[in-house]
Chain A
Amino acid sequence: MSKSGFKTSPCTQYLCPAKILILEIFHIFLRLKFSLSAILGAIEGFITTFKGNRQLVVGLKYCGGCNPNYDRVALVAYLRQRLAGQIVFVRYDQPEAEMILAVEGCPTACADLASFEHLPVFIIKRPSEAEEFIMYVENRLNEQSAE
Chain B
Amino acid sequence: MMTPQQYEESLRKLNLEVYMFGKRVQNVVDDPIIRPSMNAVAKTYEMAQRPEYEDIMTVKSHVTGKRINRFTHIHQNVDDLVKKSKMGRLMGRATGCCFQRCVGMDALNALSIVTFDIDKAKGADYYKRFIKYLTYVQENDLVCDGAMTDPKGNRGLAPHQQADPDLFLHVVEERKDGIVVRGAKAHQTGAVNSHEIIVMPTIAMRAEDKDYAVSFALPADTKGIIYIMGRQSCDTRKLEEGLLDRGNAVFGGHEALVVFDNVFVPWERVFMYKEYEFAGSLVENFASYHRQSYACKVGVGDVLIGAAQTAAEYNGAEKASHVKDKIIEMNHLNETLYCGCISCASEGHREPSGTYVVDKLLANVHKQNVTRFPYEISRLAQDIAGGLMVTMPAEDDFKAPATGKWLEKYYAGNCDVPTLNRMRILRLIENLTLGTAAVGYLTESMHGAGSPQAQRIMIARLANLGEKKKAAKTLAGIDE
A112 at the interface (CB under 8 A from B): yes
In whole angstroms, how far apart are the Cα atoms of A111 and B79 in the complex?
A: 10
Instruction: Across the interface, name the chain A residue whose C-beta is closest to B59.
Output: A112
List the A side residues contacting B51 at CB < 8 Å: 60, 62, 91
Contacts of B56 in A (CB 8 A): 63-66
Judged by a CB distance under 8 angstroms, whether A30 is at the interface is: no
Is residue A128 contacting chain B, with contact meaning CB distance below 8 A?
Answer: no
Contact A64 B89 (CB under 8 A): no
In the complex, which residues of chain A have a beta carbon less than 8 angstroms from the beta carbon of B139? Answer: none
Q: Which A residues are in CB contact (< 8 Å) with B185?
A: none
Which residues of A does B touch, CB under 8 Å?
Answer: 60-67, 72-73, 91, 103, 110-112
B467 proximal to A (CB < 8 A): no
A72 to B56, CA, bound (A): 15
**In the complex, which of the residues A64, A110, A111 has the most CB atoms of chain B within 10 Å of its own CB atom?**
A64
Q: Which residue of B lies closest to A91 (CB)?
A: B51
Contact with A along B285-318 (1 / 0, CB 8 A): 0000000000000000010000000000000000
State in angstroms the CA–CA spacing of A111 and B56 once bound together: 8
CA gap between A65 and B51 in the complex, in Å: 10
**Complex-state Cα separation, A14 to B53, whole angstroms:** 79
Q: What are the 8 A-B residue pairs with the smallest beta carbon separation, nearest first?
A: A64-B56, A66-B86, A64-B55, A62-B52, A66-B90, A111-B55, A66-B89, A65-B52
A112 near B89: Cβ-Cβ < 8 Å: no
For A91, the chain B residues whose CB sits under 8 A away are 51
8 additional contacts (CB under 8 A) given A66-B86, A67-B338: A62-B53, A64-B53, A64-B57, A64-B87, A65-B55, A66-B89, A67-B86, A72-B52
Closest residue on chain B to residue A103 by CB atoms: B52
Q: Which chain B residue lies CB-closest to A73?
A: B52
Q: Is B83 at the interface (CB under 8 A from chain A)?
A: yes
Contact between B90 and A65, CB atoms less than 8 A apart: yes
Q: Which residues of chain B have C-beta atoms less than 8 A from A62's C-beta?
A: 51-55
Question: How far apart sit A109 and B117, CA to CA, in the bound complex (Å)?
Answer: 36
Q: Tell me the minimal C-beta distance from B60 to chain A in angstroms.
A: 9
Interface 0/1 of B89-129, CB less than 8 Å to A? 11001000000000000000000000000000000000000
CB distance from A59 to the nearest CB of B (A): 11
Q: How distant is the Cα of A66 from the Cα of B89 in the complex, in angstroms?
A: 6
Instruction: Kindly provide the distance from the CB of B36 to the nearest chain A CB, expressed in whole angstroms.
Output: 23
Q: Which of B54, B57, B89 has the most CB of A within 10 A?
A: B54
Instruction: Return chain B residues, CB-CB under 8 Å to A72.
Output: 52
User: Hey, which chain A residues are within 8 Å of B54, CB to CB?
Assistant: 62, 64
For the complex formed, measure the closest distance between the CB of A105 and the CB atoms of chain B, giving whole angstroms.
9
Contact pattern, B 52-69, Cβ under 8 Å of A = 1, otherwise 0: 111111000000000000
Complex Cα spacing A65 to B90, Å = 7
Residues of B within 8 A of A67 (CB): 86, 89-90, 93, 302, 338
Least distance between A79 CB and chain B CB atoms (Å): 14
Contacts of B55 in A (CB 8 A): 61-65, 110-112
Q: Shortest Cβ distance from A69 into chain B, in angstroms?
A: 13
Q: Which residue of B lies closest to A71 (CB)?
A: B52
Report how far A72 CA is from B89 CA in the complex, Å: 17
* Least CB distance, A46 to chain B, in whole angstroms: 31
Complex Cα distance, B200 from A126, in Å, reads 45
Closest Cβ neighbor of B83 among chain A residues: A64
Interchain nearest-CB distance for A127 vs B (Å)? 15
A66 contacts across to B, CB distance below 8 A: 56, 86-87, 89-90
CB closest residue in chain B, given A113:
B55
Question: How far is B82's CA from A99's CA once the two chains are assembled, in angstroms?
Answer: 27
B33: shortest Cβ distance to chain A, in Å? Answer: 30
In whole angstroms, what is the CA distance A81 to B93 when docked?
Answer: 29
Cα separation A112 to B55 with both chains bound (whole Å): 7
A103 to B52, CA, bound (A): 9
Q: How far is the CB of B333 from chain A (nearest CB, A)?
A: 15
CA–CA, A61 to B54, complex, Å?
9
CA separation between A103 and B53, bound complex, in Å?
Answer: 11
A67 to chain B: closest residue by CB: B89
Interface of chain B residues 115 through 174 with chain A (CB within 8 A)? none
Q: List 27 A-B contacts (CB under 8 A).
A: A62-B51, A62-B52, A62-B53, A62-B55, A63-B55, A63-B56, A64-B53, A64-B54, A64-B57, A64-B83, A64-B87, A65-B53, A65-B55, A65-B56, A65-B90, A66-B86, A66-B90, A67-B86, A67-B89, A67-B90, A67-B93, A67-B338, A72-B52, A73-B52, A103-B52, A110-B82, A110-B83
- B42 to A: closest C-beta gap in Å: 18
A104 CB to closest chain B CB, in angstroms?
A: 10
Tell me how far the C-beta of B302 lies from the nearest C-beta in chain A, rounded to whole angstroms. 8
Residue of A with least CB distance to B89: A66
Q: Which residues of A contact B82 (CB under 8 A)?
A: 110
State the CA gap A64–B79 with chains docked (Å).
13
CA distance A110 to B59 in the complex (A): 14
As a 0/1 sequence over residues 20 to 35 of chain B, the CB contacts with chain A under 8 angstroms (1 = contact) are 0000000000000000
Q: How far is the CB of B91 from chain A (nearest CB, A)?
A: 9
Q: Hey, which chain A residues are within 8 Å of B52, CB to CB?
A: 62, 65, 72-73, 103
| Proximity bits, B354-393, A CB within 8 Å = 1, else 0 | 0000000000000000000000000000000000000000
Within 8 Å CB of B53, what residues of A? 62, 64-65
Contacts of B93 in A (CB 8 A): 67
Chain A nearest CB, measured from B5 CB (Å)? 21
Closest chain B residue to A68, Cβ basis: B52
Contacts of B302 in A (CB 8 A): 67
Q: A110 vs B82: C-alpha distance in the bound complex, in angstroms? A: 10
Chain A nearest Cβ from B351, distance in angstroms: 23
| Complex CA distance for A52 and B53, rounded to whole angstroms | 36
Q: How far is the CB of B173 from chain A (nearest CB, A)?
A: 46
Which residue of B is nearest A115, CB measured?
A: B60
Give the most central of B52, B53, B83: most A CB within 10 Å: B52
